[in-house]
């Protein structure tokens, strides 16, 4: 059995983020991994689905639960290119995700330790282990490139 590392799985999340960007979505991608295998993958689909909750993390949690036939993801790690927001971090807590590994921090609205710490809040019934900064430069570059393009197209 070949074991892959965090950078390998973050690269797969980056592919999903690039796909989201090509579709005009904010470039966030995520993969769910259990026992060294990807069991779910998604990019943001907010614009496509006209659904404010269609963040990559929410979609990947739903897919992973379906793949496992259980809502408990206590043996699942989620790799995501940007630090989860409060909604996504809360969903990870509720789904009992074992670990979230993210690329770039979001000091304004990140909820895995930057602006808030939903994943590690002591009052919760479950805490999600957090590993920040995996391929941070690559994740940040993709996000910056996307928003430069958006600003250019809007003429600002």
User: Which one is catalytic: 7, 18, 37, 57?
Assistant: 57
Collapsing DSSP states into helix, strand and coil, what is residue 151?
Answer: helix
| CA gap 131, 116 in Å, rounded | 15
pLDDT at res. 28: 98
Asked whether residue 3 carries a pLDDT value surpassing 70, the answer given is no
Lowest mean pLDDT among 9-13, 75-79, 131-135, 146-150: 146-150
What are the respective helix, strand and coil percentages of the chain, to the nearest 5?
Answer: 40, 20, 40
> pLDDT-based confidence at 99, cuts 50/70/90?
very high
The SS3 of residue 8 is helix
H helices of 23-135, where?
46-49, 56-68, 86-94
> 34 forms bridges with which residues in the sheet?
37, 76
> pTM of the entire structure?
0.95
**57 catalytically annotated:** yes
């Amino acid at each position: 059995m070949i074991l892959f590392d965090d950078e390998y799985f973050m690269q797969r999340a980056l592919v999903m983020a690039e796909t989201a960007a090509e579709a005009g979505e904010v470039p966030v991608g995520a993969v769910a991994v259990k026992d060294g295998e990807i069991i779910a993958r998604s990019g943001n689909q907010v614009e496509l689905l006209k659904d404010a909750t269609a963040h990559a993390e929410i979609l990947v949690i739903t897919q992973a639960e379906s793949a496992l036939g259980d809502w408990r993801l206590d043996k699942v790690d989620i790799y995501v290119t940007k630090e989860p927001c409060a909604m996504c971090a809360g969903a990870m807590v509720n789904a009992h995700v074992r670990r979230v590994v993210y690329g770039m921090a979001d000091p304004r609205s990140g909820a895995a330790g930057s602006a808030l710490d939903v994943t590690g809040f002591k009052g919760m019934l479950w805490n999600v282990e957090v590993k920040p900064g995996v391929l941070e430069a690559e994740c940040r570059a993709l996000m910056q490139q996307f928003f430069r393009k958006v600003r250019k197209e809007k003429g600002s």
